[in-house]
Structure 1
C-alpha cells in the first residue's frame, strides 16, 4: 500500500487566495464594463453599462430631425443593441480568464452547463494520477 502524496496546506491556501484575488479583480472589471456603438452614419451613438442599461445616448447634428420617427427609433434601437453586444463581449472576455483551461465562454450566452462540466471532469481525470487502489483489507472503496 502506498501513502497518499503529501498535502501542502500552505500552498493550497496561497492558491486559494490567488484565485480569490483573480475573482475579485474580474468582478471589479465586470462592474466597470461598458459598451459603446455608433450608427453607420455617426448620427446616433450609445453607451451601456455592464448590465446593458443605457447610460448615454447622443444624437449628432440636426439631420435626425428630418428622419421619420420610426426610422430614428430603428437607428436608436439598433445602435443600443450593438452597444449591448459590445458590453457582453467585454464581459465574456473578463470572465474567460476565470474558466478552467479548455472551457470557453460563449459570447451569445448559449451555455451548455452539462457539457462544460463533463469537459472539466474529463480534463481533470486525464491529468489526475492513477489512484485505482484498494483498501488494506482489499475491499472495494467505491461501495
Structure 2
C-alpha cells in the first residue's frame, strides 16, 4: 500500500473532531508527514465546532485567506496542475449546499474527511487553490 493510501486509511480510523481531526488539520498532517512544517500548527485546538471554526478562522467565508498564508509560511508553493499527494481547497457540492473543504488530491478525484467521519473521494466542482507537497509514489 502506498504512503498516500496509508494516510487515507489513517483518516478513516479517526473520529472527526473540529480543530483536531478535520479537513484542514488532516491535510496539514499529511504535509508534515511529507516533511513540511505543520501549516495548521497555530489553528489546532482553537475551535471545537463548525461555528467556532468560522468565528476563529473565517474558513467558510474566505478559505484561501486562512490557508494560503499558512501554506506559504510552511514553504509550500501553489500549483496549477495538482497531482496525487498534493493538497488544496476545493468546493464540494452536496444536495443544496456548496462548501469549501481542504482536500487531498488522489489524481482525478480528491479525498476529504467529512463531518460524518467518512472519507469521501469526489470530483470537486472547483479547485480554488492547490499546493504541491512533493509526494512521489515509489
TM-score, normalised with respect to structure 2 = 0.25
TM-score, normalised with respect to structure 1 = 0.24
Higher relative contact order (CA 8 A, sep 6+): 2
Structure having the larger proportion of residues in strand: 2
Structure having the larger proportion of residues in helix: 1
Greater gyration radius: 1
